[in-house]
Chains A and B, each alone.
Chain A
C-alpha cells in the first residue's frame, strides 16, 4: 500500500521555540494533505486542509499564525508550530490524498510533541 511518512515521530522542545513536522507521501503524489491534532481523551480533530501550491484552509478555532502549513510539492507538507507553549503539546497526524486514486487517503504515523 501507499506510504505516508511523518517526521519526527517524537519531539520535545522548550517553550517559545518553533517546531516543524514533515509529512511525506513516499510513493504517490498528494494534491491534498490533512493535518489533525488530538486533544486529551478526545478524538483527533481536523486542523487544516492543505492543497499543493496554495494556502491551507484552516478549521474554525485554529490559529493560522500559530500553526503554519506549507504544501510546496506534491509529496511534502509541513506543519510548523510557532512559539510553542505547553498547551500545544499533543499528538499530530497527517493524511494524504492520492492524486491518481481519487478519495483514497493514507495516514502518517503521527508525531508526538511535548513542549516543556
Chain B
C-alpha cells in the first residue's frame, strides 16, 4: 500500500520557469514531509521539509506547500535551472519516526 504517491513520473520545464512537483499522501497522521533530490548513481539529497502544523516553507528557490485537508503537498522551484534536472522524491514521517518515500518524479529543465 503506497502511502505517499507521486503521480507524475516525469516533468519537463523551460529554464527560468517555475517547476511544480506534486505529492499526495493517505495517512493523516504524518508529522513531517520532506523533499529529496537524487542524481543518477548518488544517494538522495535532502532539499526542504515542512512540519504538518505549517502550510508553507521557503528556502531560496525552493518552496514547499502543504494542504492538509487535501492531503497534498507540492514543491515549487523558481526559477528552474538546468542543474535542477534530477529525480525528486517526497517523503512523509510518521509519529513512530519512519519515513515513507514516494516513487519519484523526474524533472528535466530545458536550457
Contacts and interface: CB of A to CB of B under 8 A. Distances in A.
Contacts of B48: 1
Interface stretch (A63-71, A72-80, A108-116): A108-116
Interface stretch (B9-17, B66-74, B77-85, B93-101): B93-101
Given A10-B42, A111-B43, A104 B51 contact: yes
B70 to A, nearest CB: 22
A49 to B, nearest CB: 7
B98 A107 contact: no
A46 B97 contact: yes
A46 B32 CA distance: 14
Nearest to A47: B97
A109 B45 contact: yes
The A interface, classified by DSSP as helix, strand, loop or mixed, is strand
Main secondary structure of the interface of B (DSSP, over half): strand
B30 to A, nearest CB: 12
Contacts of A104: 51
Contacts of A45: 98
Contacts of A28: none
Interface string A94-116: 01000000011111111110000
Nearest to A112: B43
A33 to B, nearest CB: 11
B105 interface: no
Nearest to A108: B46
Contacts of B43: 9-10, 91, 109-112
Contact of B49 (A9, A44, A91, A106): A106
A43 B99 contact: yes
A107 B46 contact: yes
Contact of B57 (A1, A9, A112): A1
A70 to B, nearest CB: 19
Interface of B: 31-32, 34, 36, 42-46, 48-49, 51, 57, 59, 91, 93, 96-101
13 contacts: A1-B57, A36-B97, A36-B99, A43-B100, A44-B91, A44-B101, A105-B49, A107-B46, A109-B45, A110-B44, A110-B45, A110-B46, A112-B42
